[in-house]
Amino acid sequence: MKFVDFNFHPNIDKGVRIAGFKEPSPIQEEAIPLVLDGADIVGQAHTGTGKTAAFGLPILERIACGEIEKALIITPTRELATQVSDELYHLGRFAGIRTLAVYGGVGYGRQIALINKGVQVVVATPGRLKDLYQKGKIDNFNPEIVVLDEADEMLDMGFLDSVKEIFEYIPQNRQTLLFSATMPDAIKDLAEDILYNPEYISVVKEEDSTTNNKIEQFYYIIEEEQRDQAIVSLLEKEEYNKALIFCRMKVEVDRVTEHLNAQGFHAEGLHGDIEQLQRDEIVRNYRRGKTKILVATDVAARGLDIKDVTHVFNYHIPFDPQSYVHRIGRTGRAGKDGKAITLATTQEFRELKRIQKDVGANMELAVLKVGDYSIEKDDIDILKKKLSSIEPIEDADNILKSLNCDDKELMIKKLLSYIITNENIGTSKNIGYEKDVVDKLYKEFISQEKANKKRKNKR
């Protein structure tokens, strides 16, 4: 099927052609005819599958043809609201259709004025929209079509009660579309409450509920103090177009961003404490490729749909398996390959295993060589102490002879190197431990945990 087969209004068709759309994605092919027919829809599809055009194009078409006057799209984040509003503006501009992103963090005045002046498509976040309805600021805005986009993310972010309250202000004789990547019970219940006899569409394959198999996934087991060195070395080694680095906390975002810039990279940070105008500029710079590295918290990056993100780095592993899926899903979009790299310590190894198991992540252990092994004076003292406590075994002479080594000094160096690397003496210039060392460290960690539990129980 081609987009021309939809027979859009000439002015909408022009926007589609300039956007470069030729063949609809599966969600677009299924949703567009149903929305044009006025049906309520529950659509299950991931971000990056063309959802915005799937609901946006038929809305713009019906506005251009005079069938409806206004539409409302509710999104979980300001960034996504801006993104959806921009995309719909570019698709509908030749039909004179105006769009507006409405969110908190900026003044009410301009938003209220534009809504009351008759802007046709409003894309809003739940908090600001509820506030405007509660205060009676937009009583004249009565959309004939309402879209709930990324419904499961709204649930995760605690917006479900606000969404339910918003629907009390919206006319009942409306068309309602709900889109979500996953369908937890709370979203199914919401769909039953706000939709009428909906059509159900799903373009999520069973494997899509886990991790995208087009994304290569690697992990490095490192020491805590190696994180900064690791992220710098990996950025130097990897050939990325756009890189997205996830941190757990806002303070980490600021510190990692500052560290990367000090190392000669051009990075920008994104989190909730940054003022809205600056956030908009940061996302715009990243989307246009002016900034190649974005360091962000999970919340700040929710709903971001940026093209050509080739690499996702987890500076720390996320708090839960589903966050891992969301994070690495920022790459490998639209059929393209991507790479996800996670940094973890031996203490976090158990959490890493849980993520692998819960989401079916095919993660490979990796090591990055960045230099030779380094041993300090303190390490030599440790080595001396270890060697002084060892009594040679009876067969030591015979073993030495059987090695057939003419250069005994070379043999001694090799044996010392073996002891140093296997006893974990000194500092490896590699980023990440080899598998045998990781297995050993993990066993030691589990053993220590069990010992601590026993001591606790005795008390």
Residues 30 and 138 in one domain: yes
Question: What percentage of residues in the chain have a pLDDT greater than 70?
Answer: 91
pLDDT of 354 higher than 90: no
Q: Give the best-scoring range by mean pLDDT among 11-15, 286-290, 443-447.
A: 11-15
- Residue at 379: amino acid letter: D
Q: Are strands 199-202 and 243-246 parallel, antiparallel or unpaired?
A: unpaired
Could you tell me which residue, 338 or 334, shows the higher pLDDT?
A: 338
Q: Report pLDDT for 209.
A: 46
Residues 100 and 244 in one domain: no
pLDDT of 89 higher than 90: yes
Residue pLDDT, tens place only, 30-66: 999 999 999 999 998 876 678 899 999 999 999 999 9
Q: Report pLDDT for 295.
A: 95
Average pLDDT over residues 169-194: 91
Chain Cα centroid distance, residue 404: 56
CATH code assigned at 202: 3.40.50.300
Q: Report pLDDT for 368.
A: 80
Domain endpoint, select from 369, 391, 424: 369
Chain Cα centroid distance, residue 307: 13
Helix (H) and strand (E) counts in the chain: 19, 16
Q: Report pLDDT for 208.
A: 47
Residues 354 and 382 in one domain: no
Residues 223 and 338 in one domain: yes
373 half-sphere exposure, CB direction, 13 A CA radius: 13
Residues 186 and 47 in one domain: yes
pLDDT of 340 higher than 90: yes
Average pLDDT value over all residues in the chain:
85
pLDDT of 11 higher than 90: yes
> Residue 276: what are its φ and ψ, rounded to 5°?
-60, -45
Domain endpoint, select from 207, 233, 256: 207
Residues 32 and 11 in one domain: yes
Per DSSP, the three-state class of 432 is: coil
Q: Report pLDDT for 152.
A: 84
Q: Report pLDDT for 427.
A: 59
Residues 46 and 160 in one domain: yes
pLDDT of 373 higher than 70: no
Residues 92 and 214 in one domain: no
Residues 161 and 298 in one domain: no
Q: Report pLDDT for 107.
A: 86
264, 291 in Cβ contact below 8 A? Answer: no
Q: Report pLDDT for 119.
A: 94
Strand partners, 76: none
pLDDT of 206 higher than 60: no
> Residue 231: what are its φ and ψ, rounded to 5°?
-70, -35
pLDDT of 157 higher than 80: no
Burial code (b: 16+ CB inside 10 Å, e: under 16) for 111-120 equals bbeebeeebb
Residues 388 and 244 in one domain: no
- Cα dist from 88 to 150, 196, 215, 222, 289, whole Å: 17, 25, 29, 45, 21
Average pLDDT over residues 215-220: 91
- Work out how many domains the chain is built from and give that number: 3
154, 148 in Cβ contact below 8 A? Answer: yes
Domain that holds residue 26: 3-207
Rg (CA), the chain: 28
Alpha helices in 183-329 (DSSP H): 185-194, 227-237, 250-262, 276-287, 298-301, 321-328
Burial class (CB in 10 A: 0-12, 13-18, 19+), 24: buried
Average pLDDT over residues 446-458: 70
Residues 214 and 200 in one domain: no
Closest CA to 285 of 263, 274, 269: 269
Could you tell me which residue, 429 or 226, shows the higher pLDDT?
A: 226
Q: Report pLDDT for 447.
A: 75
Could you tell me which residue, 446 or 198, shows the higher pLDDT?
A: 198
pTM above 0.85, yes or no: no
Question: What percentage of residues in the chain have a pLDDT greater than 90?
Answer: 45
Q: Report pLDDT for 79.
A: 79
Could you tell me which residue, 221 or 430, shows the higher pLDDT?
A: 221
Domain endpoint, select from 207, 234, 250: 207
Closest CA to 101 of 277, 312, 292, 229: 277
Band of pLDDT at residue 280, cut at 50, 70 and 90: confident
Residues 236 and 266 in one domain: yes
Average pLDDT over residues 307-317: 91
pLDDT of 287 higher than 80: yes
Average pLDDT over residues 364-387: 77
pLDDT of 237 higher than 50: yes
